[in-house]
Structure 1
Amino acid sequence: MEDVDFDELVASLTLREENQSVKSYQNTVAVACPACGEPFDDLVVCQENPTSLDLTMQLDLCVGTVDDQAVIFTHKQ
């Protein structure tokens, strides 16, 4: 994730949820995932350590870190 301007990436996304544990953004403009190069559906930024995520569907995940926070790019199957 060193090659990615994270602030620029997030500016292209739509904030959907923010709480003490996570921030969740929706990718409404088909931005490519920095890990795999495919458009991702959502970006989840884990703000607490540890953080638990309840997944309601099966997803492919790409994971990285930014400023010591885990970031998860979801891909719906």
Structure 2
Amino acid sequence: MDEDYDELVSYLTPREETESMKRYQNTTSIPCPVCDEPFADLVIVTGQSTSLELSEPLDICVSRTSEQKPMLFTHQ
């Protein structure tokens, strides 16, 4: 993964990891690299596919790592 990704994840709190995804919580109000607003969680899809169960409607920004893995930034 690239340096920007490593630096971003180093500021986040790990919450969940499965074979197909990793989820981190933004406990320090870091701005989203897509829209510059603070985001709630970062979900990185590490497997071929995965599904997300959302308990509430969320705004989502999408980006990719240098390895082309989708990164979903959730906003509440």
TM over 0.5: yes
Unaligned runs of 5+ in 1: none
Q: Identical aligned pairs, as a percentage?
A: 49
Q: Give 1:49 shift.
A: 1.7
Map 1:20-39 to 2 at 5 A: 20-39=19-38
**Where do 4+ consecutive residues of structure 1 move more than 2 Å?**
none
Residue identity matched to 1:70: P
Structure 2's unaligned 5+ residue stretches are none
Counterpart amino acid of 2:74? T
Structure (1/2) with the larger strand percentage: 1
Alignment match, 2:13: 14
3-state secondary structure, aligned to 2:16: strand
CA displacement at 1:5 relative to structure 2: 0.7
Query: How large is the RMSD of aligned CA atoms in angstroms?
Result: 1.4
SS at match of 1:53: coil
Alignment TM-score, normalising by the size of structure 2: 0.92
